[in-house]
């Protein structure tokens, strides 16, 4: 996996290094071609290919299964990482995968020298309302930014790998 642009000289570890302390055995692989995704459901959410340089799209595998897609955007000189899309495949929801991917995004933010994660909770499927999504992010430590649609979470250097 390519390193994200660093702000402070730190480098992002290879995706497999992010598996430390991972009881769920999730592995993230950065996508560069749609051929890397077998699941039609997940591929549809990863398009278009090729992406922009600032896009980092990861297929998330649990052993041999493709379970989720995590897509974030990193601007070269901004102190934050933006979650553009978090999508857990329908049959794998409610098992803690989304929560674990938020934790991984926190680790990647820190490793690339960012201290904040931003997200605009916006339902991708008709099964979740915006209010439910907002509540889901708030339970994971996000707060509303400037009375707008965006939410943020600051990511302190310590305890991320605990
Ligand atoms: C929103 C979404 C990403 C959440 O992912 P998820 O994997 O279902 O989320 P989690 O399993 O971590 O959390 C869901 C609930 O299941 C619970 N849960 C059930 N089994 C669990 C387990 N084994 N371990 C941990 N949590 C578990 C969690 O406690 C959580 O409840 P809470 O929110 O009241 O704390 C997912 O539903 C999704 O992809 N939705 C469709 C796409 C979409 O709209 N994305 C929004 C983009 S902003």
pTM: 0.87
Torsion of CA 25, 26, 32, 33, to 10 degrees: 90
Q: Is 96 in the pocket of ligand 1 (CB under 6 A)?
A: yes
Q: How many residues does the chain have?
A: 162
Q: What is the DSSP letter of 3?
A: P
The torsion angles phi and psi of 60, rounded to 5 degrees, stand at -110, 125
Which residue has tokens 């592995």? 27
Q: How far apart are CA 111 and CA 150, in angstroms?
A: 23
Identify the residue whose C-alpha is closest to ligand 1 atom 31: 94
Per residue in 91-123, pLDDT (tens digit) is 999 999 999 999 999 999 999 999 999 999 999
Q: How far apart are CA 8 and CA 69, in angstroms?
A: 27
Q: List the beta bridge partners of residue 60.
A: 28, 68
CA of 13 to the centre of ligand 1 (A): 26
Domains in the chain, please, with CATH? Answer: 15-154 (3.40.630.30)
CA of 10 to the centre of ligand 1 (A): 30
Token readout for 64 is: 């041999």
Which of 28, 63, 64 has the alpha carbon at shortest distance from 46?
28
Q: Is 123 in the pocket of ligand 1 (CB under 6 A)?
A: yes
Identify the residue whose C-alpha is closest to ligand 1 atom 37: 93
- Residues 6 or more apart from 23 whose CB is under 8 A from it? none
Token readout for 120 is: 């605009």
- The b-or-e profile of 9-19 (16+ CB within 10 A means b, else e) is eeebeebeebe
Which 3 state secondary structure label does DSSP give 9? coil
Per residue in 118-141, pLDDT (tens digit) is 999 999 988 899 999 999 999 999
Q: What's the confidence (pLDDT) of residue 50?
A: 87
Per residue in 43-77, pLDDT (tens digit) is 999 999 888 999 999 999 999 999 999 999 999 99
């Amino acid at each position: 996996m390519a390193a994200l642009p660093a702000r402070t000289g730190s480098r992002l570890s290879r995706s497999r290094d992010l598996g430390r302390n991972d009881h769920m055995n999730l592995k993230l692989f950065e996508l560069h071609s749609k051929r890397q995704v077998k699941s039609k459901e997940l591929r549809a959410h990863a398009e278009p290919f090729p992406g922009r340089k600032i896009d980092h799209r990861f297929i998330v595998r649990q052993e041999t299964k493709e379970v989720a897609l995590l897509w974030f955007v990193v601007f070269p000189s901004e102190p934050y990482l933006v979650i553009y899309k978090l999508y857990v495949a329908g049959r794998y929801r409610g098992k803690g995968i989304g929560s674990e991917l938020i934790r991984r995004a926190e680790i990647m933010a820190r490793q690339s020298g960012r201290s904040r994660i931003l997200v605009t909770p916006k339902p991708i499927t008709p099964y979740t309302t915006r209010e439910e999504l907002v509540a889901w992010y708030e339970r994971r430590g996000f707060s509303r930014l400037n009375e707008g649609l965006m939410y943020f979470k600051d990511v302190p250097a310590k305890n991320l790998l605990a």
